[in-house]
Amino acid sequence: MIDVAAYLVFFLCLALIYGLVCLGLNLQWGFAGLFNVGVVGFFIVGAYTVAILASPAAADRVGGFGVPIPLALLAAMAAAGLVAFVVGIPTLRLREDYLAIATFGIAVTIQLVALNWETLTGGTHGRVSIPRPLASVFVDRVNANLFFLAITLAIVAAGYWALERMVRSPWGRVLRAIREDEVAAGALGKNAFAYRLQAFVIGSALMGLGGGLYASFIGYVGADDALPTLTFQIWVMLIVGGSGNNKGALIGAVSVWGLWSFSGWFMAAVLPSAFAVRAGALQVILIGLVLASVLLLRPKGLVGEEAVVSRGARVK
Amino acid sequence: MTLAIWLQSILDGLVIGATVSLGAIGITLTYAILRFANFAHGEFITWGGYFALAVLGAVAGSQDLKALLGGPFEPFSFGWPLIVATLASILAASALALILDAIYFRRLRRAKIAIASVIGAFGAALVLRNLVVLGYGADPEYFSREIQIAIRFGPGLRITPDQIALVGVTALLVVSLHLFLTRTQMGRAMRGVRENPDLASVSGIDVAAVIRATWVIGASLAAVAGVLIGLTIQLRPSIGFDLLLPLFAAAVLGGIGSIYGAVLGGLVIGVSESLAVMLIGPEYRAAISFGMLFLILLVRPQGILGVRA
Does pLDDT of A160 surpass 90? yes
The pLDDT value given to residue A136: 73
> What is the pLDDT averaged over residues A244-256?
92
* A105 to B31: CB separation less than 8 angstroms, yes or no: no
A276/B contact by beta carbon, under 8 A: no
> What is the pLDDT averaged over residues A113-140?
81
Looking at the structure of chain A, the number of domains it has is 1
Interface test with A, best of B36, B104, B127, B136 (most A CBs within 10 A): B127
> What is the pLDDT averaged over residues A137-165?
88
The pLDDT value given to residue B309: 47
The pLDDT value given to residue B20: 93
Chain A residue at shortest CA distance from B135 = A278
Is A131 within 8 Å of A69 (Cβ atoms)? yes
Q: What is the CATH number of the domain that holds B224?
A: 1.10.3470
> What is the pLDDT averaged over residues A245-252?
92
Q: What is the three-class DSSP state of B151?
A: strand
Tell me the sheet residues that pair with B151: B159
CA gap B225, B115 in Å, rounded = 27
Q: Is residue A268 part of a domain?
A: no
Closest by CA position to B207, among listed B124, B294, B101, B83? B101
Classify residue A57 by its DSSP letter. Answer: P
pLDDT tens per residue across span B20-35: 999 999 999 988 888 8
CA gap B167, B171 in Å, rounded = 6
Q: Is residue B244 part of a domain?
A: yes
Kindly state the helix (H) or strand (E) to which residue B123 belongs, with its residue range. Answer: helix B114-136
> What is the pLDDT averaged over residues B195-210?
86
Overall size of chain A counted in residues: 316
The pLDDT value given to residue A308: 60
The percent of residues above 90 in pLDDT, for chain A, comes to 36
- Residue A86: CB partners within 8 Å, gap ≥ 6? none
Is B177 within 8 Å of B190 (Cβ atoms)? no
CA gap A138, A124 in Å, rounded = 30
Classify residue A38 by its DSSP letter. Answer: -
Domain that holds residue B193: 2-299
B283/A contact by beta carbon, under 8 A: yes
Q: Is residue B139 part of a domain?
A: yes
Is B234 within 8 Å of B49 (Cβ atoms)? no
Chain B residue at shortest CA distance from A233 = B123
pLDDT tens per residue across span B207-225: 889 999 999 999 999 999 9
Packing angle, helices A2-25 and A141-167, rounded to 10: 30
* B133 to A232: CB separation less than 8 angstroms, yes or no: no
Domain that holds residue A125: 2-227
* B252 to A101: CB separation less than 8 angstroms, yes or no: yes
Q: Is residue B306 part of a domain?
A: no
Prediction ipTM score = 0.84
Q: What is the three-class DSSP state of A233?
A: helix
* A94 to B301: CB separation less than 8 angstroms, yes or no: yes
Classify residue B156 by its DSSP letter. Answer: T
Q: Which of B31, B133, B298 sits opposite A90 (nearest CB)?
A: B298
Does pLDDT of A301 surpass 90? no
Classify residue B75 by its DSSP letter. Answer: T
The pLDDT value given to residue A81: 96
CB atoms within 10 A of CB A300: 14
User: Hey, what long-range contacts does A71-76 have (CB within 8 A, 24 or more apart)?
Assistant: A72/A212, A72/A216, A73/A209, A73/A212, A73/A213, A73/A216, A75/A49, A75/A50, A76/A45, A76/A46, A76/A47, A76/A49, A76/A50, A76/A208, A76/A209, A76/A211, A76/A212
Q: Is residue B304 part of a domain?
A: no
* Arithmetic mean of pLDDT over chain A: 87
> What is the pLDDT averaged over residues B277-284?
83
Tell me the sheet residues that pair with A80: none
Does pLDDT of B112 surpass 80? no
Cα A273 from chain centroid (whole Å): 30
Q: Which of A149-163, A216-230, B13-27 has the lowest mean pLDDT?
A: A216-230
Q: Is residue A291 part of a domain?
A: no
- Residue B256: CB partners within 8 Å, gap ≥ 6? B28, B31, B32, B303, B306
User: Higher-confidence residue: A313 or B149?
Assistant: B149
Tell me the sheet residues that pair with B179: none
Is B135 within 8 Å of B126 (Cβ atoms)? no
> What is the pLDDT averaged over residues A140-157?
89
Does pLDDT of B308 surpass 60? no
CB atoms within 10 A of CB A248: 26
Tell me the sheet residues that pair with B158: B152
Cα A263 from chain centroid (whole Å): 21
Q: Which of A59-63, A115-119, B104-108, B228-232 has the lowest mean pLDDT?
A: A59-63
* Arithmetic mean of pLDDT over chain B: 87
The pLDDT value given to residue B174: 93
> Secondary structure of chain A: what % helix, strand, coil (to 5)?
75, 0, 25
CA gap A56, B267 in Å, rounded = 47
Q: Is residue A193 part of a domain?
A: yes
- Residue B203: CB partners within 8 Å, gap ≥ 6? B192
Q: Is residue A270 part of a domain?
A: no
Q: Is residue B308 part of a domain?
A: no
The percent of residues above 70 in pLDDT, for chain B, comes to 97
CA gap A28, A46 in Å, rounded = 17
Q: Which of A56-60, A119-123, A187-191, B129-133 has the lowest mean pLDDT?
A: A56-60
Kindly state the helix (H) or strand (E) to which residue A310 belongs, with its residue range. Answer: strand A308-310
Q: Which of A59-63, A111-115, A231-235 has the lowest mean pLDDT?
A: A59-63
Q: Is residue A235 part of a domain?
A: no
Does pLDDT of B304 surpass 60? yes
Q: Is residue A274 part of a domain?
A: no
B-chain CB neighbours of A115 within 8 Å are: 283
Closest by CA position to A47, among listed A101, A111, A109? A111
The pLDDT value given to residue B250: 93
Looking at the structure of chain B, the number of domains it has is 1
Give the pLDDT band of residue A4 (cuts 50, 70, 90).
confident
Alpha helices in A132-275 (DSSP H): 141-167, 170-180, 182-187, 192-218, 229-241, 246-270
> What is the pLDDT averaged over residues A27-52?
92
A91/B contact by beta carbon, under 8 A: yes
Is A39 within 8 Å of A104 (Cβ atoms)? no
Query: From residue B33, how far is each of B106, B119, B215 by CA, in Å?
Result: 13, 18, 10
Q: Is residue A308 part of a domain?
A: no
> What is the pLDDT averaged over residues A271-281?
79
User: How many residue pairs bridge chain A and chain B with CB atoms within 8 Å of each other?
Assistant: 126
* B115 to A106: CB separation less than 8 angstroms, yes or no: no
Give the pLDDT band of residue A215 (cuts 50, 70, 90).
very high
Type of residue numbered A290: V
Give the pLDDT band of residue A15 (cuts 50, 70, 90).
very high
The pLDDT value given to residue B114: 60
Kindly state the helix (H) or strand (E) to which residue B117 belongs, with its residue range. Answer: helix B114-136
Query: From residue B135, how far is each of A281, B39, B59, B76 by CA, in Å?
Result: 10, 22, 19, 29
The percent of residues above 70 in pLDDT, for chain A, comes to 97
Interface test with B, best of A89, A101, A236 (most B CBs within 10 A): A101
pLDDT tens per residue across span B51-83: 999 998 888 888 877 777 777 777 888 888 888
CA gap A213, A151 in Å, rounded = 10
Is A71 within 8 Å of A84 (Cβ atoms)? no
Does pLDDT of A187 surpass 90? no
